[in-house]
Structure 1
């Protein structure tokens, strides 16, 4: 388990992380999301002891990271895949890490096989592609067979096979009762992988909820209704506590509506009871990207204007 309590970090006048409190529980894949500059990397670095908080605390398995007797056996972290000596081979790099924690040498070959780098074990890291570097970083995180896995952009540079492997691996770790915290900008991948979400913006907590609840709260959810009887249907929906508005971006003449607050089944029942024709009745499910952008619209630090210049 990871417990973050009142965590803050200042760099001069800039508050990178502002009083964050959340818990990452075992048995779940927890997605850690936020716009660029939101404070995600700083938070992860404080969790694993690379940065010191200005105030507050971060604990893993009940302790600050620096108090763990054998950190690699408790926390496996991939924060910067390129933080490797270019002149070393993949096997040499992992053997050095293993020796620091008295991890048997055979474990090195096990994790190389797990991430698909057996054939590249004797190659120098400086010649690795971006995807190979990511695989090596994941291998290093797995060396100690840790209880907690922290991954920052783990699928960066991976091919489709590699992305699927990472997804299945994280799922397997969580199903095994371990704690998995993963930060990524790939919203479609997070939607397919994460059970729970922690979202921050400008260093502050914006959401801490299950994936299902996060998506359900979005105002983009609703049901698309296409009918020639919109004037008759709308008052019926309003009596049910629903709202109906013209479908954004739709210019067709046949009364396309986006209905919220009344589910598709009830809409169909109301139309049938009153003899109203429906040409389309389609629940509209929001994507994680849409829900995320809606929530963090006011927390984007770097925005592109219509002129194409960064603001």
Structure 2
């Protein structure tokens, strides 16, 4: 387990991480999410002792990382896939790590096969593509067969087959009872990989909650409607007091009224309906709603809001 208690990091007048407390539990994949500049990488670096916190503490299985007697045997980490000597071969890079941490040569061959790099074991690390460098970084993280794993943007540069592979790997590691923390900006991938989410914005905790509960808490009651007469129906529903907006797939999302009322309005005006179903927002939509007021580097025209998502007793509250 990874435990953070009131973790804070300041750089002069800038607070990168602000009174952050949460647990990363074994047996589940925990997605670590937040906008650019939210403090995710700084938090992970403090967990690993690479940056000293201004206050608070981060522990792994009850100890600070710097106090672990054999770190690679307990914690596997991917922070920077390019953090290798470019002139060393894939095999030599793993040999150096293994020899300095008392890891058997047989384990090197095992992880090379696991990440699919056996055919390029003698290629220099500096000549690898980004996707292959990611695989090498993951091999290094797995080398000590650790119980705790931390991955920062592990799918960067991976092709579709590689994305499926890393997703399956992370879920398999969690199923073995290991602690898995993974940060990513790919919401569609997190929706398929994570069991639990920790979301931060401007260094503060916004949510610490199960994935399904996160989406449910962000959802307003709405109905997805598909019709060849979308413009006509939208006008009639607005006249009836409903809020209507386009759906990404040429449908309508209707809020403020029930399916039965929508059906009656459509029938009264001779509008044909092809679909009339409750609408469940995506993880990406829920995430964007929660973090709208915490975007540090938004595109021109982005207007921060004050939307807030409330969670139950077993989750964190929006802040």
With normalisation by structure 2, the TM-score equals 0.83
Contact 1:220 1:290 in 2 (8 A): no
What are the within-5 Å matches in structure 2 for residues 265-284 of structure 1? 267-268=259-260, 279=273, 280-284=275-279
Paired with 2:233 and 2:112, the residues of 1 have a C-alpha distance of 62
Structure 1: where are the runs of 5+ without partners?
236-243, 251-255
Match of 1:240 in 2: none
Measure, in 2, the Cα distance between the counterparts of 1:184 and 1:17.
18
Tell me what 2:292 maps to.
297
Residues 1:230 and 1:131: Cα distance change in structure 2 (over 3 Å): closer
Gaps of 5+ in 2: 303-319
Query: After TM superposition, what 4+ stretches of structure 1 lie above 3 angstroms from structure 2?
Result: 225-232, 259-262, 267-272, 275-278
| Count of matched residue pairs | 288
Corresponding residue for 2:310? none
Contact 1:32 1:40 in 2 (8 A): yes
Shift of 1:152: 0.3
Q: Which moved more, 1:27-36 or 1:97-106?
A: 97-106
Which residue of structure 2 lines up, in the alignment, with residue 247 of structure 1?
A: 244
Shift of 1:248: 1.3
Which whole-Å CA distance do the structure 1 matches of 2:69 and 2:260 have between them?
62
Which deviations, in whole Å up to 9, do the C-alpha atoms of 1:19-50 show, x marking residues without a partner?
00000101100000000000000000011111
Give the conservation status (yes or no) of the 8 Å contact 2:59–2:65. yes
2:282 matches 1:287: yes
State the partner residue of 1:32: 32
Q: For 2:197 and 2:72, locate their aligned partners in 1 and report how far apart those are by CA, in whole Å.
A: 25
Q: Are the structure 2 counterparts of residues 33 and 228 from structure 1 closer, same or farther at C-alpha, using a change threshold of 3 Å?
A: closer
1:177-213 Cα offsets, whole Å, 9 max, x none, are 1111000011100011100000000000001101101
Equivalents in 2 of 1:270, 1:87: separation in Å?
A: 66
2-side partners of 1:95 and 1:107: how far apart? 10
1:239 counterpart residue number = none
CA distance in 2, matches of 1:128, 1:208: 37
Name which of structure 1's ranges 218-227 and 283-292 shifts more when overlaid on structure 2: 218-227
Q: Which moved more, 1:285-294 or 1:146-155?
A: 285-294
- Cα distance in 2 for partners of 1:60, 1:184 equals 21
